């Protein structure tokens, strides 16, 4: 670390980003980067961002809604989505309730955000409009045919022949994409034997049917309904379009030849009802499907995650479903895609020199890769994520999982980014604040003072840093450790401990150095002081351990 701090913060280096793909990750990255002051051009192959016949319902986890709220989108999101304040877990065969209640009061999910259920097309349109307002350039009818990854001047070529250059290219073009073909020699897609049916039911029809009105929103608040069974599982939720959406997982049952490269295919109510009766689903579910105006079916495919998200040229990074495909219909799919875009924008708000670009992208990829692995572990036993068997096969087991949730477990089950919140006072500090308050240290002047809050900031912190050599990528990784000031019980995000390792032990040493008695990450220290250790940036030079 440099002995002296720079006299003033370095000026932001503004560079050109080209984002391929106008899905949730691409649009969120466009917003984040534009808000950070970078120049952004997003390329979308479709004609526009209007309605699509194949779009259905989607859910957004609390940590992402909270951060979108901080971007000023709270009212717009509430206008297009129902807050899913309640949850009910049932058996798909009988409809018997295993556990139900309010997320916060009954299941101790204190994340500071809300579950939202909405139509995917409405959400995408909102992000598109926000990206435009934030200063991003959005181009439609701009399908990318190829990419030239010259380290000095990378570019993409559109199908029309136009060539577009950029300083950094962001591949957010999904699972069947230019980005994956660049990063993988062979992109294998393995069918799982399951399909996801998305049935859309008008709520006015449900309101007039005995036994179905209870599934509708009450006093403007919705419920997330989950049915779990041996071979069939269902998630149901309302949207502001006055539609009720059912996500139904079932065996392929005659859909063995469903094309894996077609993301959505049309089906019929009759076909889905036959499958549900064969699987023994309760009568209320079949009644709802009988009323469906549209039924779509998606193959549940096992898709490999990219080993490397950053191309060797260090100017091309892959995000969202293109980098880490999650199980079709997962609660985490949108949240983790949005999280990629948000973190990319946050990192590049600290860009000062061209040499930092490769390090920032490497830091982004390493941090998000760890997050994805944690989410995949949580998803495998998460009753809130989806109802795909054999995730939670029996209602009794599911009830035990839900009732045994502590704060840490609940956060892992409901959020893309784990949050540990203090129970006594205040709300947890959002990830955006922790990244703002942490130094993205420069190789030449590893110092916290230029980017930490001033002493007049009510969240002012005291911190220290430590560095150690990362075995991944063979680079030196610097982590900034900042502790909450004395007396602040608001709570900081920390990741529940998932094992040791040399890095973990050294991180623990840094936390101890920062001061304040506390238990290990994920523990419940008596002082309620939380210490966050997040990746600041991968440094190629200097910054020796201290």
- Burial of residue 238 (number of CB atoms within 10 Å: 0-12, 13-18, 19+): buried
Residue ranges of the chain with per-residue pLDDT less than 70: 1-9, 51-54, 101, 103-113, 151, 187, 253-263, 378-546
- DSSP category for residue 504: H
In this structure, are residues 44 and 140 in contact, taking their beta carbons and an 8 Å threshold?
Answer: yes
Q: Which two tokens stand for residue 338?
A: 């949005």
pLDDT at 32: 96
In this structure, are residues 339 and 196 in contact, taking their beta carbons and an 8 Å threshold?
Answer: no
- Strand intervals (E) in 259-293: 265-267
What does DSSP say about strands 16-20 and 39-43: parallel, antiparallel, or unpaired? parallel
Q: Which two tokens stand for residue 438?
A: 């942490």
Using DSSP, how many helices (H) and how many strands (E) does the chain show? 15, 21
pLDDT at 73: 95
Q: Which two tokens stand for residue 392?
A: 């939670």
pLDDT at 259: 54
- How far is it, in rounded angstroms, from Cα 330 to Cα 247? 10
In this structure, are residues 267 and 296 in contact, taking their beta carbons and an 8 Å threshold?
Answer: yes
The residues, ordered by sequence, that sit 6+ positions from 366 with a Cβ below 8 Å of its Cβ are 470, 472, 473, 477, 535, 538
Q: Which two tokens stand for residue 25?
A: 């990750």
| Ordered structural domains, the chain, with CATH | 16-61+115-187+304-379 (3.50.50.60), 190-301 (3.30.9.30), 420-539 (no CATH)
pLDDT at 263: 63
- How far is it, in rounded angstroms, from Cα 287 to Cα 213? 12
pLDDT at 363: 92
pLDDT at 517: 32
Helix 24-35 × helix 120-134 angle, to 10°: 20
**How many CA atoms are closer than 13 Å to the CA of 164, on its beta-carbon side?**
24
pLDDT at 9: 53
Helix/strand/coil for 481: strand
The residues, ordered by sequence, that sit 6+ positions from 450 with a Cβ below 8 Å of its Cβ are 5, 6, 8, 9, 10, 439
- How far is it, in rounded angstroms, from Cα 366 to Cα 538? 9
What does DSSP say about strands 221-228 and 57-60: parallel, antiparallel, or unpaired? unpaired
H, E, C per residue of 349-368: HHCCCCCHHHHHHHHHHHHH
The residues, ordered by sequence, that sit 6+ positions from 34 with a Cβ below 8 Å of its Cβ are 40, 131, 134, 135, 136, 345
Nearest CA-CA partner of 197 in 113, 298, 306: 298
In this structure, are residues 517 and 527 in contact, taking their beta carbons and an 8 Å threshold?
Answer: yes
């Amino acid at each position: 670390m440099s002995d002296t701090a720079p006299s003033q913060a370095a000026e932001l280096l503004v560079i050109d980003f080209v984002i391929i793909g106008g899905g949730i990750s691409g649009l969120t990255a466009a917003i984040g980067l534009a808000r950070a002051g970078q120049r952004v051009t997003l390329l979308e192959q479709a004609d526009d961002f209007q309605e699509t016949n194949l779009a259905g319902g989607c859910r957004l986890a609390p940590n992402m809604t909270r951060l979108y709220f901080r971007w000023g989108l709270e009212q717009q999101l509430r206008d297009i989505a129902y807050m899913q304040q309640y949850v009910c877990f049932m058996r798909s065969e009988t409809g018997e309730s295993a556990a139900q209640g309010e997320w916060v009061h009954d299941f101790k999910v204190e994340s500071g955000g809300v579950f939202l259920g909405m139509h995917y097309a409405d959400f995408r349109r909102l992000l598109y409009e926000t990206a435009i307002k934030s200063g991003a350039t959005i181009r439609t009818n701009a399908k990318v045919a190829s990419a030239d990854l010259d380290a000095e001047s990378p570019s993409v070529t559109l199908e029309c022949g136009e060539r577009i250059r950029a300083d950094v290219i962001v591949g957010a073009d999904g699972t069947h994409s230019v980005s994956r073909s660049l990063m993988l020699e062979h992109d294998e897609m393995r069918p799982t034997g399951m399909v996801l049916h998305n049935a859309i039911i008008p709520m006015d029809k449900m309101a007039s049917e005995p036994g179905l009105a209870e599934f509708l929103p009450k006093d403007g608040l919705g419920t997330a309904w989950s049915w779990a069974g041996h071979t069939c599982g269902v998630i149901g939720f309302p949207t502001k379009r006055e539609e009720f959406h059912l996500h139904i997982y079932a065996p392929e049952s005659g859909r063995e030849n469903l094309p894996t490269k077609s993301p959505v295919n049309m089906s019929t109510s009759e076909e889905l009802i036959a499958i549900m009766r064969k699987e023994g689903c309760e009568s209320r579910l079949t009644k709802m499907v009988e009323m469906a105006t549209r039924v779509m079916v998606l193959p549940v495919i096992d898709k490999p995650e990219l080993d490397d998200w950053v191309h060797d040229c260090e100017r091309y990074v892959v995000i969202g479903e293109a980098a880490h495909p999650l199980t079709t219909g997962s609660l985490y799919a949108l949240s983790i895609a949005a999280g990629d875009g948000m973190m990319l924008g946050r990192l590049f708000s600290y860009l000062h020199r061209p040499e930092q670009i490769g390090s920032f992208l490497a830091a982004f990829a390493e941090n998000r890769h760890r997050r994805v692995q944690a989410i995949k572990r949580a998803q495998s036993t998460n009753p809130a994520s989806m109802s795909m068997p054999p995730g939670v096969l029996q209602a009794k087991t599911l009830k035990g999982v839900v009732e045994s949730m502590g704060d840490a477990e609940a956060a892992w089950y409901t959020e893309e980014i784990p949050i540990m919140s203090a129970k006594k006072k205040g709300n947890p500090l959002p990830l955006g604040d922790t990244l703002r308050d942490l130094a993205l240290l420069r190789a030449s002047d590893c110092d916290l003072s230029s980017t930490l809050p001033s002493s007049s900031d009510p969240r002012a912190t005291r911190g220290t840093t430590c560095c150690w050599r990362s075995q991944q990528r063979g680079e030196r990784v610097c982590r900034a450790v900042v502790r909450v000031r004395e007396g602040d019980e608001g709570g900081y995000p920390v990741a529940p401990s998932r094992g040791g390792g040399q890095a973990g032990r050294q991180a623990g040493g840094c936390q101890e150095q920062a001061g304040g008695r506390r238990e290990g990450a994920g523990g419940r220290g008596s002082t309620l002081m939380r210490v966050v250790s997040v990746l600041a940036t991968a440094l190629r030079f200097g910054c020796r351990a201290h």
